[in-house]
Amino acid sequence: MARIVLVGAGSITFAKNLLSDLMTFPELSASTIVLHDIDEARLATAEAMATWMVGELGIGAKIEAHADRRAALDGADYVINEIAVGGLAAVQRDFAIPARYGVRQTIADTLGIGGIFRALRTIPVMVGIGNDLAELAPDATLFNYTNPMSMIPWAVYAGTPFRNVVGVCHAARDTQRTLAGMVGVPEEEISFVTAGVNHQAFVLRFERGGENLYPRLDALIEEDPELARRVRVEVYRNFGYFPTESSEHGSEYLPWFLPHEEEVERYRIPVDIYLEWLAEGFDEYESYKRSLAAGTGVPIERGEELASLAIHSMETGTGRMIHGNVRNGGLISNLPQEACVEVPCYVDRAGVQPMRIGELPAQVAALNRTMLNVSELTVKAALEGRRDHVYQAALLDPNTAATLPVRKVRELVDELIAAHGDLLPAGIRD
């Protein structure tokens, strides 16, 4: 049976969701599930949770736990990455230091100054994982959940011999479900095509039986002034296609919202919301830890995680469509060839097979290129150890550039480099 490795398994809620999905597929219930985390206390909690779930479900899955990454990856068929390099302390620095300069953020993990530094401290670890896989499991598939998604897979396929990396994210799927609900049409009756860059893909086709459903959406927005107080609706109204990311997230990728107090209020943007979510996640971890110690376990609930669906398809031949983040290579003809793009992918025994989209509408391709400019420079900064590329990425970042002059952007970068220290590539911090 399959050897499935969870890297960053100490992210307990996420691990619980993945394990619930994997273990409740009968065809995967005898797999070897391998847990890895550098935090041994969290790893022990994840192992206790996985072992309890195996017993509760009465299945034959084998559980392994390894603090040593190479031992975990050796012989893997599938690897699911969900690491958070630097943990809570690093995220707090990503928020607190820019805030002193007047830079507002909401999630700080995809673009913006927070996304840049999250990538800079994550990419060295991902390069290590990619190199390990090239040696120890060259035929494995690496499913990445860690943000920034437009940068992490790119760094793996550009910086290591390992190429079989696919980023997975719920945003496109959730957006399609949201739009179906808004216009009152069952999702299975709608023909969707959604593509672009992760967290800034666009719904290019939104039809039922040849009927364009966008006019229905336009009528809803016209009738409800509150809908117009959403960032993603404002982007849709100006660029003609509905974006895949939530309003709080999407506000960070553009220059028109967070730098302006009145726009933060108008669009109800929850500044610093990710810090609240992290606190809730810590509380949930402690709750699961207590329940496992008491023998009552954790909820086992299917969540249709994309990595688990893809693994099931690859093991059984059950065909499915998911959205994957992969090397462009001409899939989207008016975006850079080396960029990591998000496109529909068909998955079966043959693996993950991306759909060729062709040209994006010019206006949304332009937005994507703005995002990819920052991504490319950040990836190059990490892989080549170039501090100048960090400055350039920050200077080109829409939210940061709209908030600060050049001198202050450079000062902010310098302070964040000093604060993150050894988490960053050596060439950048020297």
247-277 pLDDT, tens digit per residue, is: 888 999 999 999 999 999 999 999 999 999 9
For residue 91, what pLDDT is reported?
A: 97
Residue 331 lies inside a defined structural domain of this protein: no
Q: pLDDT (tens digit, 0 to 9) for every residue of the chain, 430 residues total?
A: 899 999 999 999 899 999 999 999 999 999 999 999 999 999 999 999 999 999 999 999 999 999 999 999 999 999 999 999 999 999 999 999 999 999 999 999 999 999 999 999 999 999 999 999 999 999 999 999 999 999 999 999 999 999 999 999 999 999 999 999 999 999 999 999 999 999 999 999 999 999 999 999 999 999 998 999 999 999 999 999 999 998 888 999 999 999 999 999 999 999 999 999 988 888 888 999 999 999 999 999 998 999 999 999 999 999 999 999 999 999 999 999 999 999 999 999 999 999 999 999 999 999 999 999 999 999 999 999 999 999 999 999 999 999 999 999 999 999 999 999 999 999 998 7
pTM metric for this prediction: 0.97
Residue 96 lies inside a defined structural domain of this protein: no
Place of tokens 């960070």: 252
Residue 38 lies inside a defined structural domain of this protein: yes
Q: Could you read off the pLDDT of 379-402 as tens digits, one per residue?
A: 999 999 999 999 999 999 999 999
Question: Which residues neighbour 236 within 8 Å (Cβ) at sequence distance 6 or greater?
Answer: 217, 242, 243
CATH of the domain at 160: 3.40.50.720
Rounded CA separation 82/9 (Å): 7
Nearest C-alpha neighbor of 111 from the set 244, 171, 230, 200: 200
Residue 226 lies inside a defined structural domain of this protein: no
Q: Does the annotation mark 323 as catalytic?
A: no
Residue 301 lies inside a defined structural domain of this protein: yes
Residue 204 lies inside a defined structural domain of this protein: no
For residue 283, what pLDDT is reported?
A: 86
Cis bond upstream, residue 398 (ω within 30): no
Say how many Å lie between the first and final Cα of the chain, rounded: 47
Residue 343 lies inside a defined structural domain of this protein: no
Rounded CA separation 364/349 (Å): 33
Nearest C-alpha neighbor of 171 from the set 249, 274, 85: 249
For residue 248, what pLDDT is reported?
A: 86
- Cβ–Cβ under 8 Å, residues 381 and 120: yes
Q: How many CA atoms lie within 13 A of 429 on its CB side?
A: 14
Instruction: Name the active-site residue from 66, 170, 249, 420.
Output: 170
Task: Name the residue range of residue 301's domain.
Answer: 3-89+107-166+296-311
Rounded CA separation 134/198 (Å): 25
**CA 312 to the chain's CA centroid:** 21
Number of domains comprising the chain: 1
- Cβ–Cβ under 8 Å, residues 316 and 7: no
Residue 13 lies inside a defined structural domain of this protein: yes
Sign of the CA dihedral with 128 first, then 130, 131, and 135 last: positive
